[in-house]
Amino acid sequence: MISRVSHRIGVISLLLPAALLLLPLYLYPLVEIVSRSLGDKGWSTANYLELFQDPFMLRVLYQTFRFALVISVLCVLVGYPIAYAMRIVSNRTRRTIALLILLPLWTSILVRGFAWIVILGRNGIVNTTLTDLGIVDEPLKLVYNTVGVYIGMVHIMLPFMVLPLYNSLSRIDLRLLSAAETLGSRPISAFFWIVLPLSMPGVLAGLLLVFMSSVGMFVLPALLGGLSDITYIMLIEKQVSELNNWGLAAAMSVLLLVVTGILTLLYERTLNSEASSGILGQIVRHVFQRGPIHLLVWRERILARLLPLRASQLANRKQSARLAPRHLLVKCWSWAVLVCLVLPLLVLFPLAFSNETFLHFPPHSYSLRWFENFFSRDDWRTPAITSIKVAILTTIGAILIGVPAAYAIVRGRFPGKGIVTAILISPMIVPSLIFAISLYALYARFNLLGTLGGLALGHIIIALPYVVVTVSAGLKSTDELLEAAALTMGAGPIRAFWIVTLPVLRPAIVSAAFLAFLTSFDDVILSLFLSGLSAKTLPVRMWEGIRFEIDPTIAAVSVMLMLITIGFKFAAEWPSRRGAKSNIPGLTAMQAADAGGR
């Protein structure tokens, strides 16, 4: 009895810091968004009516979903061969591919947006090459329009597609393909009959993940899109910052949150489709797995009627010499795509060292002037220092709050554990712009805008899921009996944690700390709303730079950011090689563990 009470108290005290942070600064603002959507005084559905009656609103909503759907489908088409290649190549090649896929993921979204502008712009690399070669007379319009958004978004979303796909492909027994071949099937039909249906859960999971993230994406469409490429999330931002129409923005946010919530639920079910017996699991199984089979059976039936193969034809098939290398097409495609993933980042390196005032590729002469420019000008240096300060504060806060919380949800037994976990992880799923405006409204009232502390608190909230996921994974992979053993030897629970669990967990915690640092250091949206003039961070400065005065300083900053980020990521990966492997933003711990370079 005593132990249960003390256990309860222990759990509560471990979760207390997280509760003190999340209740006022995360849950309350979101609740406030819901209440604002229902009108300032009394309950009114006027805002919601406007959502569904205003043709412009509806058009943007439709456009946003269409846009997310196109990106998801493009990602499946581009990413499936890569995931398949990862399944069939040797372990070493698989690690290389995984690294190349994750590399862009570790790079700031602003840097990647900037890279695409440099490559696709009117005087960008593609256009200058094409006009120099005389293939086109007029530069093609590749950016600041829908094409640009698609290219940039697929570049960003591809890892989120490839990882769940690979995860489900890796569970397929390749001997099934051998069996299919001995039973008379060509490799291509073996693929459609065996591999594709068995990988459908992965396809669905990837589609949902990409769709969900694309709907909530703000920075990239805003950078690479044209005036007409407005998405719902951009419209929300416009309602808040330009029109000050909070009620409508709140209603729009609620709508997006509901959609995201439903998609997240579907995603969870898809991941466990074999295990879940609920309606969603059934739908996934019947529609997405059995569906293709029925189609194939019907196709064969019709073909058997129309174009029957006679036995003699089968017997007299030519003795074909075996194809030279197998899966050649898949492999070529994969390497080509991987090059396209990494190349845009490499393009920035020569530009950063250029000696010209305009972005020209390749530069005619090289110098360090843009790096000097960065370090000598206050309007670059100050934001950089602010960013570092905020990131350090965030790291300390997120670790101090996240590690106990992770310990409570892994080791603790208490009612409502599922909900607590969901809340701790949810900042990863809620579109950051919606969280940003909700926090902005709160900070405005308490004069917290433009303060370092305020910004850091916001960053802690978005960094917390990464810390919780990483540390949880680490905890799950350590033996609970170690602590029990320490207890039997006379150590108290706190002492046992301190001398047994903590050292075992250290790699996971170090990894989580790096992740928290980077989450803060890379954040654009939250900083855009909360930093004001006095706490402007480096990403905000870059954002302004890319939008208003593109000059090579940004290339120099990008190169530095890339090197720092990649260095950090490697450092974060390093200690966790053996324990928790989870540092892919937006993925659940399970997938992250799968993707962590096995």
Partner 1 sequence: MTSLDVVPQGLVLRGRSQTQVNNSIHQPPGTKGGCVQLSELTKEYGGIRAVDDVSVDIAAGEFVTVLGPSGSGKTTVLMMIAGLTEPSAGSIAIGGRDITHLRPQHRNLGVVFQSYALFPHLTVAENIEFPLRMRRRSETEVRRKVKDMLDLVRLPNIAQRVPGELSGGQQQRVALARALIFDPPVLLLDEPLSALDKKLRESMQFELRELHRKLGVTVINVTHDQTEALVMSDRVIIMRDGRVVQSGSPSELYEHPKSSFVADFLGTSNFLKGELQKSRDTDESSLVTLGGLRCRAPQAAQGLKGPARLMIRPERIVLNVPAATQEHFAGRIAEIAYTGDLIRYRVALNDRDVIDVTLQNKSGHLPQSSIGSDVTVGWSLEDVHVFVESTTE
Considering the complex, state which of residue 63 and residue 185 has its C-beta at the smaller distance from partner 1.
185
- Of 352, 311, 120, which is closest to residue 224 (Cα–Cα)? 120
Considering the complex, state which of residue 53 and residue 319 has its C-beta at the smaller distance from partner 1.
319
Cβ neighbours around 81 below 10 Å, total: 20
What is the DSSP annotation of 269-329?
A: HHHTTTT--SHHHHHIIIIIIIHHHHHHHHHHHHHHHHSPPPHHHHHT---PPPPSSTTHH
Positions touching partner 1 (CB under 8 A) are 173, 175-176, 178-186, 189, 193-194, 197-198, 289-290, 293, 296-297, 300-301, 303-305, 307-309, 311, 314-315, 317, 319-322
Cα-Cα end-to-end distance for the chain: 44
Contacts of 8 (CB under 8 A, 6+ apart): 414
Considering the complex, state which of residue 262 and residue 297 has its C-beta at the smaller distance from partner 1.
297
CB of 314 to partner 1, least distance (A): 6
- Of 163, 161, 97, 84, which is closest to residue 326 (Cα–Cα)? 84
Q: Report the distance separating Cα 288 and Cα 299, nearest Å.
A: 17
CB of 283 to partner 1, least distance (A): 16
For residue 540, with 0-12 CB atoms within 10 Å meaning exposed, 13-18 middle and 19 or more buried, which class applies?
Answer: buried
Considering the complex, state which of residue 198 and residue 590 has its C-beta at the smaller distance from partner 1.
198
Considering the complex, state which of residue 178 and residue 357 has its C-beta at the smaller distance from partner 1.
178
CB of 193 to partner 1, least distance (A): 7
Considering the complex, state which of residue 197 and residue 221 has its C-beta at the smaller distance from partner 1.
197
CB of 160 to partner 1, least distance (A): 25
What is the DSSP annotation of 188-226?
A: HHHIIIIIHHHHHHHHHHHHHHHHHHHHH--HHHHHH--
- Of 412, 336, 346, 341, which is closest to residue 558 (Cα–Cα)? 346
CB of 187 to partner 1, least distance (A): 8
Structural contact between residues 228 and 122, judged by C-beta atoms closer than 8 angstroms: no
Considering the complex, state which of residue 296 and residue 487 has its C-beta at the smaller distance from partner 1.
296
CB of 304 to partner 1, least distance (A): 5
CB of 420 to partner 1, least distance (A): 35
